[in-house]
Amino acid sequence: MFDMRSENADKYVNKWTDLEAEDLLADIFKKFGTQTAIGTSFQKTGLVIMDMASRVTDTFRAFTIDTGRLFSETIDYMKQIEGHYANKLYQGKIQVFKPDENRVKEMIKQSHWREYLFLESTSHREFCCKIRKVEPSDKALKTLTVWITGLRKDQSKFRSTLPKIQPIIANGRQIIKVSPVYTWSESDLDEYIKKKNLPVHPLYSEGYATIGCKHPCTTATLEGEDPRKARWRWELEDDSSKKECKIHLSSYGDGSGI
Ligand code: SF4
């Protein structure tokens, strides 16, 4: 594995910050090849990024986190996307990282709500996100040097504070987190998808603006509603920017608090 610490990560921050998404991806794949991986939960951002990658490189790696609580539509859609990019995806498939089964079993036992422990309190919900999302993300980050994310500036107040290119320490290693469509709006994504005639996740046509774990963690949104409100709706958090599973928190620690 390429050791980013041996190079100056700031050099890449300076080089990549002003590049347009497609040029940025081309440069990253040229330099880092399959040490780069696109993390996707099958939202429009991941689709657009994978499509751009398919146009600028012969092979690209993509991965997802199967929390064990995904919508069945997401599993079916993943197969559809694997077929769509079969000739370009590294090893012909999207890599799937899952939570440790024993950790999930232990977690479930700790609440009378069992699998639905996230309904008990915000800290239970955060614990569930840690076991089912953050820890598998940790496993994924151990395998790469450049982490491509679908994060966008206008998704929430919190996300608008994050940089487009960010060196982070994950599992004691320095890697670079890159958000190629950071400044894109929802309509920019829609325009790209329409122009290239790409297949979007089927739940978008059922009113979902964000794709995550199944009900009740992710719900459809009402007309004009902030999409982050569709996550953990029962928490009644006024400030939706605080609704994060911690994968994108900048206080990324050594293997925990991603
Ligand atoms: S979104 Fe819900 S089910 Fe998924 S990991 Fe977080 S709390 Fe658990």
Residue-wise pLDDT for 28-66, tens only, equals 999 999 999 999 999 999 999 999 999 999 999 999 999
How many structural domains is the chain composed of?
A: 1
Reply yes or no on whether 245 is catalytic: yes
Q: What is the dihedral of CA 156, 157, 163, 169, to 10 degrees?
A: -80
Q: Is residue 231 part of a domain?
A: yes
Query: What is the domain extent for residue 81?
Result: 4-242
- Confidence at 250, pLDDT banded by 50, 70, 90: very low
Q: Give the CATH number, domain containing residue 136.
A: 3.40.50.620
Residue 247, domain member (yes or no): no
In angstroms, the CA 46 to CA 78 distance is 11
Can you give the pLDDT at residue 2? 62
In a domain, 117, yes or no: yes
254 falls within a domain:
no
Cα gap 225→256, rounded to integer Å: 32
Give the residues surrounding ligand 1 with Cβ less than 6 Å away.
Answer: 67, 69, 118, 125, 128-129, 132-133, 212-213, 217, 245
Both tokens of residue 79?
């197969």
What average pLDDT does range 72-82 have in this prediction?
Answer: 98
Identify whether 248 is part of a domain: no
Residue 47 maps to a domain: yes
Q: What is the pTM of this model?
A: 0.91
Of the residues 69, 211, 228, 231, which should be mutated to test ligand 1's pocket, given the most ligand atoms within 8 Å of the CB?
69
249 falls within a domain? no
In a domain, 197, yes or no: yes
What Cα–Cα distance (Å) separates residue 15 from each residue in 4, 9, 19, 207? Answer: 15, 10, 8, 39
CA distances to 115, 116, 230, 245 from 216, in Å:
12, 9, 9, 15
The rounded mean pLDDT for the chain is: 90
